[in-house]
A and B are shown apart, each in its own frame.
Chain A
Amino acid sequence: MLSINDLRASIEGKEILKGINLEVKPGEVHAIMGPNGSGKSTLASVLAGREEYEVTGGNVVFDGKDILELAPEERAAEGIFLAFQYPVEIPGVTTINFLKTAVNEIRKYRGEVPLDAAQFLKMVREKAKLVSMNDSLLKRALNEGFSGGEKKRNEIFQMAVLEPKLAILDETDSGLDIDALRIVAEGVNSLRSPERATIVVTHYQRLLDYIVPDYVHVLYKGRIVKSGPKELAFELEEKGYDWIKAEVEAVG
């Protein structure tokens, strides 16, 4: 489904990703872990098409298409979704109106007829239940004045509405208390299916108690330096990242 080959990217002339290789198949959950500044969020941003980053090498093939050629909105329409670490507040645009526009723009891209208001509302109500999203939040301006937990829940709610093939969760656990974490994780898990894949970017193992990954990768200095089964996450939680750093420096 997703194939990242020797991906290199830089910002303001500084190389952050130094040759990433990753294969993600339908149905899989991959966790990307690593110390601060290792390039985790950069990877998530480059996949979603954030324009501040310059891709300097490699390619990313998603369902047979080189997505690096596509605009962010085209990637979304192809089925990639990024749950933001810091969801943006947009005054004056209600969550519901925002999502309706998004759903119908994506449908247009795919050559489908737009949903009418009734169909859309019915679908949205169902999805809102998944993440215990209150109706009143939907009518408020997007993320404006939302608590940290509400913002993250809103990300997962949007994900549920857009039904992406590949969801990338960028530090979705940051700033969440344990109850909010559980709700968000339940939302993510309810969307797991054999056709969909998830990349969970996180600093801590905590979220992975709830969203259990098939593979764990450690990103360090812009490269994936270690990959393993879910137990690797426990090891990192127990021992921290220093032993990984030491291993890399020893080889390096």
Chain B
Amino acid sequence: MSTETIDLKTRLITDFYAREAVLNGEASSEYHQKKREGLARFEKLGFPTIRHEEWKYSNVKDLISVSYDFNAESSIGLAELEDLKVPAQEANILYFVNGRYNAGLSTIISPVEKITISSLAEAYKNDPARVSSYFNELTKDADDAFTALNTAFTQDGVFIHIPDNQQVEHPIILRFVSDAREQNVGSQPRNIISVGKNSHVKLAEAFRTLGEQRSFTNVVTEIHVAEEANVQYYKVQNESDNAYHVGTTQVRMLDRSHFYAGTVTLNGKFTRNNLNIVLDGERCDAHMYGLYFPDGSQHVDNHTVADHQKPNSESNELYKGILRDKSKGVFNGKIFVRPDAQKTNAFQSCKNIVLSPDATMNTKPQLEIYADDVKCSHGTTTGQIDEEALFYMRSRGISRPEAMSLLMFAFCADVVSQIKIDSVRDYLENVITQKLASK
């Protein structure tokens, strides 16, 4: 791994123009113009420093100190997937290796004549106007350098379009694998998901790494939730100790829709997740669950936003973390209640167990309420394992480590039980059990 300090920003901007130079006619397309705007925004913002309020506890200095190959080829095949112990399941499974769709590894079983599930690149080839109109719609005002960077460099990802009144029977699993066996690799997937009126879908993004070199994933997912739709969305990160991950999921909900998010960070060197939900409809409900287990010198930062814009909606949030060794955790939960959003119910809770004196957790609830008839609550707790409970279990013959595992597993249970894709939940239960038993 290279330790030489480089100027990643300049290098990326140079890359952009090099790519643009070979685009020919495509450079004038709406799609590319949006990318250009992304680049301009990135150029203006630059990578954030800890002086930036949103990045106060998460320093990206280390992340941007090396270069990454954003076009790395990969020979990954079924054997490597075996190594990753990816669970078998009956689902639509799409593989993205180093950010690019791998059709050979992927399986799509839902009826494609009814719903569109394809790579973004292919979707653009088939219907540039439709993809362009969705692209960056939800994130166009984002004041975030990484989102802008992703916009500028969007090449691939998933494009899912579900028309009205569809029950998507099989879950959609998006597996992002960084092949960092040979070199530092970077990827910037962009996922666009549009769920029509009264349609139901469950989907998951899973992030893994092969190899020991560095990986940098900068992912942006835009999710449109139409009236009365029901969307279950999970993000599971089980990457290497050398994996850097910055991601934004931007959601817009319309009247009477339901959105459930589960964000679980099992492993990774540096993780920053932004989950921004705009409740742009009446009587809709948004649910956010999160779980993280940093150890060693890992860093996990979850920023969430519930932006209530219309009356009579509800948001409900529960994040939990177990921190060990010298790890750091950050939770920043914003709730906005706009002047029109009367009768809003918004609840937020963040609970942490800090198992080592060298581990730290920073929690910051942020409520901005501009309506007067609302119910909002927030609470954070950070503590150690309950010694009284531990003694109770030991007095029944359960060893200290086993009692610790049981207690920590129980601590995680109310988040894990919210995951409604069985295979994903089983996978999490297995990995969490192993993780808790290993210390």
Contact = CB atoms under 8 A, between A and B. Distances in A.
Interface stretch (B54-62, B155-163, B385-393): B385-393
B367 interface: no
Interface of A: 48-51, 71-73, 75-77, 81-82, 84, 87-88, 90-93, 97-99, 101-103, 105-106, 109, 141, 158, 162
A164 B242 CA distance: 50
Nearest to A99: B396
Contacts of A106: 397
25 contacts: A71-B400, A73-B395, A73-B396, A73-B399, A76-B395, A76-B396, A87-B392, A88-B386, A88-B388, A91-B410, A91-B414, A92-B410, A92-B411, A92-B414, A93-B406, A93-B410, A97-B406, A98-B396, A98-B398, A98-B406, A102-B393, A102-B396, A105-B399, A105-B402, A162-B396
A216 to B, nearest CB: 25
Nearest to A84: B392
A201 to B, nearest CB: 15
Given A87-B392, A90-B392, A101 B398 contact: yes
Given A88-B392, A102-B393, 6 more contacts: A72-B394, A76-B396, A88-B391, A90-B392, A92-B411, A97-B406
Given A91-B410, A92-B409, A93-B406, A73 B397 contact: yes
B407 interface: yes
A108 B389 CA distance: 22
Which of A48, A88, A106, A158: most chain B CB closer than 10 A?
A88
A109 B389 CA distance: 21
A91 B392 CA distance: 13
Contacts of A99: 396
A76 B397 contact: yes
Nearest to A101: B398
Given A84-B392, A93-B406, A101-B406, A162 B413 contact: no
Contacts of B413: 92
B398 A102 contact: yes
Given A51-B391, A84-B392, A88-B392, A162 B410 contact: no
B138 to A, nearest CB: 36
Contacts of B396: 73, 76, 81, 98-99, 102, 158, 162
Contacts of B410: 90-93, 141
Interface residues of B, number: 22
Contact of A72 (B388, B395, B406, B414): B395
B383 to A, nearest CB: 14
Contacts of B400: 71, 73
Nearest to A168: B395
Contacts of A50: 391
A214 B389 CA distance: 33
Interface string B75-119: 000000000000000000000000000000000000000000000
Contact of A73 (B386, B398, B409, B414): B398
Interface in B388-433: 388-389, 391-400, 402-403, 406-407, 409-411, 413-414
Contacts of B386: 88
A109 B397 contact: yes
Contacts of B407: 90, 93
A90 B397 contact: no
B394 A71 contact: yes
B394 A90 contact: no
B215 to A, nearest CB: 34
A136 B398 CA distance: 23
Contacts of A81: 395-396
Contacts of B409: 92-93
Contacts of B402: 101, 105
Contacts of A88: 386, 388-389, 391-392
A4 B396 CA distance: 22
A82 B398 contact: no
A120 B391 CA distance: 24
Closest 4 CB pairs of A and B: A92-B410, A76-B397, A72-B394, A106-B397
A77 B395 CA distance: 9
